[in-house]
Amino acid sequence: MNDVLDSLTGQAAALAEGSETPISLAERALDRAERKADLNAFVALDSPIVLDQARAAAERRLRNAPRSLIDGIPIAVKDNFLTRDYPTTACSGALPWEAGGQDATIVSRLRDAGAIIFGKTNMHEWAYGATNSTSSFGPTRNPHDPSRITGGSSGGSGAAVASGIVAAALGSDTGGSVRIPAAACGIYGFKPSYGRASRHGVLALSWSLDAPGPLTRNLPDIQLLLPYFFGKDPKDVTTANSKELGPMPRKVEPRLLRLYGKGLECTSEVEKAISGALATSPCSLENCEITSVSSYFAAWETILHCEASSYHASQPANKRSGYSPVTQAHLEAGEQITAVEYLHAQSIRAHFMTVLLKELPAWDALVLPTLPVVAPRQGEDWQLFGGRKVTTQDSMTWFCWLGNLAGLPCVTLPVANPGGDMPVGMMLMGRPGRDEELLAIACRVQEQLKEYGSVE
């Protein structure tokens, strides 16, 4: 692969200098999508739609009037974002949601910037799972080893970026659904602070936990995309106080706090990779035990299931009949949660946020593995680590849910794995609303990882 053209920033530079055109980038992406079709990363992709956008972008560049740095660059979109040129199905057997000429706000902003909306990516049905194995289009396969899962629910986006089909893709994150496939596929994923990025036009899983985010080949790519996520959107009231992307402040010595405790275990392979990466970190590092993890996790699950069932209860019966048995079982379980149980879970959530933000030692970023295991094989139901036998589904969300329950910005970075051939991700979580600060810390950590060869 051409490493420069595999990144968003590299493609933007190639377009600016004229060594590539929007048409050549679109044709390159289409060719790769065809050659890598066995990954099952895309569920809707139309060459004429892609090339029409590319020709329009090429004409703008010929007039020296590109709309932005990303004008003419293909970007893939998860199949739960509304798109005016493709139906949105959430990879369910239920009837598709016809967009009716609508784009999700983030898709609309990217389109206004001239980005080529390349196609719709595979996902775990309704984002209600973290393996990407349950989809009406079949499972997505990991580019590093097709016998393994991508993780989900944004697994198609992870595979599309990791395989080099596109340089960037959109995902959504309720319990790690951007970060999980990013880590499993060896790329970068960013979950914004809750309320910082517009959710309008993104089919909901759990409205108080959901956050859309980008998956990319490097950190500068994330920085290039976040302006299209951030800022007020009158169609999403949770963004009423959202600021546009600001400058990245640099701290002299950022304080990292690594969390550990019962319920935060991982395999020796992952531990070796994370410890090796942290040994080269330029930041101050302190370890801190956190207790009651199982209680906090139960609160996250309760909120997710209750809100998901509430959202889907409004759907017509002819749509719900098309859900997979697994998704239907989740929805039926959520319907059994009482209002008292839901409100109790929200009170536990408030306590959890108090613990993280006020009771822990001073920190600028919390650090954890992104996943406790490397990407499991297709069909594996259980994972063994830390003396535990954990379902593959729960192992995928093992660490990531913390960021959603507290509404924190989160980023996953690929780190070197001296103990195996599959990718390992390291997750940094920042303080609410301080997404720029988190990104700056991640960039500093990344620079040191590269210097010491501790990054993939």
Look at residue 3 and tell me if it is in a domain. no
Look at residue 249 and tell me if it is in a domain. no
Overall average pLDDT of the 427-444 stretch: 96
Let me know whether 268 and 367 are in one domain: yes
CA 43 to chain centre: 18
- Which pTM does this prediction carry? 0.96
Catalytic residue, chosen from 7, 177, 309, 395, is 177
Let me know whether 174 and 218 are in one domain: yes
Let me know whether 211 and 330 are in one domain: no
User: What share of the chain has pLDDT > 70, as a percent?
Assistant: 96
| pLDDT tens digits, 228-277 | 999 999 999 999 999 999 998 877 789 999 999 999 999 999 999 999 99
Look at residue 246 and tell me if it is in a domain. no
| pLDDT tens digits, 118-145 | 999 999 999 999 999 999 999 999 999 9
Let me know whether 401 and 275 are in one domain: yes
- Tell me the CATH number at 108: 3.90.1300.10
153 in active site: yes
Let me know whether 225 and 269 are in one domain: no
Overall average pLDDT of the 105-109 stretch: 98
Overall average pLDDT of the 218-222 stretch: 97
Catalytic residue, chosen from 78, 108, 120, 206, is 78
177 in active site: yes
Let me know whether 229 and 303 are in one domain: no
- Domain residues for 395? 255-451
pLDDT surpassing 90 at residue 69: yes
Look at residue 135 and tell me if it is in a domain. yes
Look at residue 456 and tell me if it is in a domain. no
78 in active site: yes
Let me know whether 59 and 198 are in one domain: yes
Q: How many domains are contained in the chain? A: 2
Let me know whether 417 and 387 are in one domain: yes
The residue among 212, 239, 266 that closes a domain is 239
Please check whether residue 239 is in contact with residue 357, taking contact to mean a CB–CB distance below 8 angstroms.
Answer: no
pLDDT of residue 453: 56
Look at residue 122 and tell me if it is in a domain. yes
Let me know whether 98 and 64 are in one domain: yes
Look at residue 2 and tell me if it is in a domain. no
Let me know whether 229 and 281 are in one domain: no
Look at residue 202 and tell me if it is in a domain. yes
Identify the band that residue 1 occupies on the pLDDT scale cut at 50, 70 and 90: very low
Catalytic residue, chosen from 7, 108, 153, 206, is 153
